[in-house]
Structure 1
Amino acid sequence: MKAGTAVKERDTEQEAQQYKVFPILFAMLLSGFIGLFGETALNVALTPLMGLLQVGPTTIQWLTTGYLLVLGVLVPVSGLLLQWFTTRQLFTASLIFSIAGTLVAAMAPSFEILLVARVLQAVGTALLLPLMFNTILVIFPIEKRGAAMGLIGLVIMFAPASGPSIAGLILANFSWHWIFWISLPFFLISLVSGLMFLPNISKLTKPKIDVLSIILSTLGFGGIVYGFSSAGGHGESGGGWSSPVVIATLVVGAVSLLLFSIRQLRMKEAMMDLRAFRYPMFTIGLILIFIAMMMLLSSMLILPMYMQQGMAVSALTAGLVLLPGSLLNGFLSPVMGRLFDKFGPKWLVIIGLVIVAAALYMYTGINPGTSLGMIITLHIVMMIGISMIMMPAQTNGLNQLPPEYYPHGTAIMNTLQQVSGAIGTAVAVSILAAGQSSYLKGVTNPDSPEQKLAGFTSGVQNAFMFAMVLCLLGLAISFFVKRVKVGKHATKHVGH
C-alpha cells in the first residue's frame, strides 16, 4: 500500500510540474477580474438608472442586493460542485453564465431584464471564485503559493475597487449599456484561453448530495446576506433594523445556519466540511479576512457617500479619489505574496493592521473642510495596510489544510467574504444614521442645511470609529498568527 501511495504522490508532483501555469492563470484571473469589476461597476450608475428605468431607490437596490444574494447562496455549495464536476466543466459553465448575463445586460430594455442579467452574472462569478482558489492550491507547491495568491489578491481587491472609477468614465461619455459591452470581449478571450489550456486538475469524489444541507445553506446564508443588505440599504431603500422583513430574514438565516452547522458536523460526507475549523491558522486567517473585508467594504461605501453628499464632489471625482489607493493595493498584493513566501505572515499582518488603524483614526476627524489630497493620502495608506493583511492571512490559513479540505476551505473563505461585505456595509450605514439622528436631536434647528451637514459628518465619523475598533480587535488576534510549516507532515497532526 505504502509503495502505491508513494508512486501516486510522485505522479501527482510530476503532473503539477507539467501544468501550463501562465495560460491557466491568465484565463482564471482575467475572467475573475471582469466578474468582480461587474459587481461594483453598476453602483455608480444606480442613481441615473432610477430615472432611465423609472424605478425607485428600493427597487434599484435589487441590482446590488440580488447579485450579493446569489453569491451568498451559491458560493457555499461550491465545495460540493468542485467534487462533482471537472475543472473544465465548472470553468466553462461559469464563463457561459457570465457571457450570457453580460450580453443580456448590454441589451436590457427594462429593469426586470437587467435584474435577470445580474443574476446570471452572479452565478458565473459564484462558480468561478472558489474554482480559482482551488486551482491555485493544486497547481502551485506550498512554497510558491504566496506569490500566486498575491495575483488572486490583485484581482479580488483591484477589480471591485476600479469598478466605480471605470464606470464613471464610461457614463461620462457613453450610455450605461457600455459598462457591459466593454466587459464582453474579455470574457470571450478567457473562455477561449481556458478551453485551450485548462486541464482537469481536481479529483472527483462525487460525495452524496444532501438536499437538506443545500436548503439550510441557502436559507442561512441567503437570509443573513438579504437581512443585512436590507437593513443597511442606501438612503430611503434601507429597511432599517426594526423592519419586520429584516428581523424575520435575519432570524431565519441565523437558525438555518445553526442547523446547517450541526448537520455538517454530524455527517460523514459534509457538503461544507466545518472540520476545517479544527486547523487553528485557518480559523485565525478567516477571522482576519472577515475583519479586513468589513473595514474595506464599509469604508468603500462611506467615503464616496461623504464626498458626494458632504463635500459636494461628483460621482466621477469620488471614484477617481479612491483609484490611486485601489491601484496600489492591487499591485502590492503580489509583492506581499513574495514577502509572505520569504518571511511568513505574522509581522506583515501586525504591521498592516497598525497602518490601517492609524488611517482609520485620522478618518474619524473627517469634515467638509478636509482636502481631497488628504483623503487620497489616507486611502493609499489604508490600502497598503489592507494588502499586508488579506493575502498573508488567506494563504497561511489555506496552507494548513490537507488537500482533501481545499474545496471546503475555499468555499468557507469565499462565503464569509460575501457575508462580511453585507454585514460591514449594513452596520456602517446604521452607525452613520444613528450618529446623524442623535446629533440632530441635540440641536435647536435640525432642519437647517448647516446642522444637517454637521449631523451627517458626525455619523460618518462614528462609522470610521467603528471600523477602527474592528481593526484593533484584528490587531489583538494577529499576535496569535504562526507560519504554517512547509511539508505534508506539518498539517497531519493538527486537530486530530
Structure 2
Amino acid sequence: MSTDTIDTSDHLSEPPTTPVRGTSDLPAEQPVDEPRQDRLAPGAFRAIALLLASGFTVILNETTMSVALPPIMDELGITATTGQWLTTAFLLTMAVVIPATGFLINRLGTRGAYLTAMSLFTLGTALAMIAPGFGLLVTGRVVQATGTAIMMPLLMTTIMTIVPPHMRGRVMGNVGLVIAAAPALGPTLSGAILEPLGWRGVFGVVLPIAVLALVAGVLWIRDVSDKDAHHLDPLSLLLAVVAFGGLVWGLSGLGEGAHAGAGAINPLIPLITGLAFLGLFIWRQIVRQRTDSALLDLRTFRESNFRVAIGIMAVSMLAMLGTLIVLPLVLQQAMGLTPLQSGLVVLPGGLAMGLLGPVVGRWYDRVGPRPLLVPGAVLVTLGIGMLAFLHPGISVFYVLGAHITFSLGLAAVFTPLFSAALGVLKPHQYSHGSATINTVQQVAGAAGTALFIAIMTLRSDALTATGTSAADALTKGAGLAFGIGAGVMAVTIALATLIRRPESDGEVHGGH
C-alpha cells in the first residue's frame, strides 16, 4: 500500500457496494450501508485517536503562559507588558494561519498536513524550552502556534471525511473535549509543573509527547481524500494576515486599555485596519470562488445551519474565553487564592466539560441538536449570571458551582454546533468549513477577552477612585463584565431553536 493513500479497510466512507473488510462481527457479504458497525475500523480509530491526542496537546499550550508568566518575567528581566506578547503572538499567529488551513489541507493532504503541523509544534516547543532570551522564546511560541493552527481544522475535516454519518456525533464529541477542556486545564497543569520544574518544564514536559505524536503520525496517518492542485493566491494570504491579525491585535489591545504605556499603539488602529482588510478579503474570496480557487471558500455561509451555528459559536467562545481570563484574576487578586488554588477551582468544570463531550455526542446522534443546544445555552447563561454576584467574602464553593454550571452548558453546546454546522456542507467544503469555525473561535476569543477585561477595568478603576477597596472594586468590575456576558449569551437561547438536524445526519450530497 502506498503511504499516500489510505487502505480501504480503514476508509469508512467508501461507496456502499464494497463489502466491509477486516470486521469480524459482520457477515462478509453485508454492504457498508446495511445496519452498520458501531465502531471505527482499526486504522481509522488509530488515526482519529492520534489526531485527538495531538489536538489536545497543542491547544493546551494556548493557556499555559497565563500562570507561567511571572517566573518568566523574573528570570528574563521583562515587564508584564512585554511578557504578554507570549500569549498575544500565539493568538495573532493562530488568527493569521487558520484562514489558510483549508487550502493547506487540500493541497498537502491529511498526512502532509499532520506531519507539517506536528513538526512545527515540536520545533517551536524545543526552541521555547532552550530559549536563552525573550526573543527566541517568542519565536518558539510563534512556531508552536503555526502548528497548532493547522491541527484543529485537520481534525474536524478528517472526522467528517472518514466517520460514517450515524457515528459523527459521538466522535465529534471528543473534539469538544479538545476545544473546551484543554484551554481550561492549561493553567492548572502549568501551575502544577512550575513549582518543581520551573517555566522551562512547561515546555519540557510537552516536548517528548510531541515527538511521540510525530513518530506515530509517520506510522499511522494516511491521506483520506484527493489532494487539490490549486495554487496559493498571494493576495488572499496578504489580506488574511492583515485582516485577522489586525482584528486579534486590536481586540487584545482593547483589553489592556488603561494599563497601556504612553508609547503603546492605539488598539483602534489595528482594529479598524483589520476590519477594512476583512472587507477586502471577503471580496477577494468571492471573486476567486468563481474558479474554485479561494483561500477560504465562503460559500459555506449559504447554508442557514452553518450561519446560525457560527453565530452561536462566536458568542459561546466570547463568553468562555472572557470568563477563563477574568475569573482567575478575581480568585487570586480579590479572594487571595494562589495560582494553583485558583486553577484547582476551575479544574472540576474543565474535567466535566471534557468527559461529557463523548456522552453529548452520543445524545446528539440520537436526538439531534436542539434538545441539547437550548438547555446548554440556558446553563451557560445561568453560570455566567451566577458569577455576576461575586464579592471578596463569597464561598469558594459558590464559585465552583457557578463554574461547573457554566462548563456543563458549554459541553452541551459545542458538539452539536460542530456536527450541525459541518454536517450540512458538501464533502469538498469540510476543510473550508473547519477553517472558518476555527477562525471565528480565535477572533471571538480575543473579543471576549477584550470585552470582559475592558469592562472590569473601567468599572473597578471608577470605583477605586471613589474610595472603594481594591478587592471590592475588582469583584464589582468583574461582576459587571459577567452580567453583560450573561446578557449577550442569553441571545443564543433563541438562536439555538433555529438549528436543525442535517439531512440524513450529513450524508454525502448527491452529485458531489
For normalisation by structure 2, the TM-score amounts to 0.89
The amino acid of 1:340's aligned partner reads: Y
The residue aligned with 1:363 is: 387
- Residue 185 of structure 1 is matched in structure 2 by 208
Deviations 1:244-290 (A, max 9, x none): 53111011100000111122112222211111001011111111111
Matches within 5 A, 1:18-417: 20-233=43-256, 236-237=259-260, 244-267=265-288, 268=290, 269=292, 270-417=294-441
C-alpha distance in 1 between matches for 2:268 and 2:179: 31
8 Å CA contact 2:95, 2:443 repeated in 1: yes
1:166 Cα deviation after fit = 0.9
Q: Could you tell me which residue of structure 1 aligns to residue 479 of structure 2?
A: 461
Displacement of 1:68 after TM fit?
0.4
Q: In the aligned structure 2, how far is the partner of 1:330 from the partner of 1:27? A: 17
> Unpaired segments of 5 or more residues in structure 2?
1-12, 22-31, 33-39
| Alignment gaps of 5+ in structure 1 | 1-6
2:61 partner SS = helix
The whole-number CA distance in structure 2 between the counterparts of 1:69 and 1:12 is: 46
Cross-structure match for 1:427: 451
The alpha-carbon deviation at position 451 of structure 1 amounts to 2.6
Name the aligned partner's letter for residue 125 of structure 1: T
Any idea what SS the aligned residue of 2:62 has? helix
Deviation at 1:454, TM superposition (A): 2.2
Residue-by-residue CA offset, 1:177-212 (whole Å, 9 max, x unaligned): 111111112112211222111111132122232211
Structure 2 counterpart SS, 1:202: coil
SS at match of 1:86: helix
Give, as a single letter, the amino acid of the residue that structure 2 aligns with 1:428: F
Cα deviations by residue, 1:96-149 (Å, 9 ceiling, x for unpaired): 111111111111121111111101111111121111111111110111111111
Asked if structure 2 preserves the Cα contact closer than 8 Å seen for 1:66 and 1:115, the reply is yes
RMSD of Structure 2 on Structure 1 (CA): 2.2
Residue 471 of structure 1 deviates from its aligned partner by: 1.1
When residues 274 and 454 of structure 1 are mapped into structure 2, their CA distance, relative to the original with a 3 A threshold, is: same
Paired residue secondary structure (2:502): coil
Partners of 1:491 and 1:474 in 2: CA distance: 29
- Distance in 2 between residues matched to 1:216 and 1:19, nearest whole Å: 42
Report the secondary structure of 1:435's partner residue: helix
Q: Distance in 2 between matches of 1:62 and 1:476?
A: 38
Report the equivalent of 2:489.
471
Are the counterparts in 1 of residues 300 and 429 from structure 2 also a CA contact under 8 Å? yes
Amino acid at match of 2:282: S
Cα distance in 1 between the residues matched to 2:176 and 2:18: 26
The alpha carbon displacement at 1:58 in A equals 1.2
Q: Say which SS state the counterpart of residue 64 (structure 2) adopts.
A: helix
SS of 1:81's equivalent in the other structure is helix
Cα gap change, 1:105 to 1:347, in 2 (>3 Å)? same
**Native 8 Å contact 1:150 1:335 kept in 2:** yes
1:40, 1:261 → 2: CA distance? 30
Q: Does the 8 Å CA contact 1:232/1:426 hold for their aligned counterparts?
A: yes
Q: Deviation at 1:9?
A: 4.1
Alignment partners' CA distance in 1, 2:462 and 2:92: 32
**What code does the residue aligned with 2:164 have?**
P
**C-alpha distance after superposition, 1:382-410 (max 9, x if no partner):** 10011101110111110000101111100
- What is the alpha-carbon distance in structure 1 between the residues aligned to residue 205 and residue 44 of structure 2? 27
Opposite residue 384 of structure 2, the aligned amino acid is: L
Q: Which secondary structure state, in structure 2, belongs to the residue aligned with residue 486 of structure 1?
A: helix
Asked whether the 8 Å contact 1:83–1:205 carries over to 2, the reply is yes
Q: Name 2:8's counterpart in structure 1.
A: none
* Alpha-carbon distance, 1:491 to partner: 5.3
CA distance in 2, matches of 1:248, 1:410: 29
| Number of equivalences | 479
Amino acid at match of 1:172: E
Residue 489 of structure 1, CA deviation: 7.5
**Kindly tell me: are residues 307 and 234 of structure 1, through their superposed partners in 2, closer, same or farther at Cα, counting changes over 3 Å?**
farther
More helix by percentage: 1
Aligned amino acid, residue 278 of structure 2: L
User: 2:420 touches 2:501 (CA, 8 Å); kept in 1?
Assistant: yes
Select between 28-37 and 200-209 the one with higher mean Cα deviation.
Answer: 200-209
Q: For 1:164 and 1:40, locate their aligned partners in 2 and report how far apart those are by CA, in whole Å.
A: 6
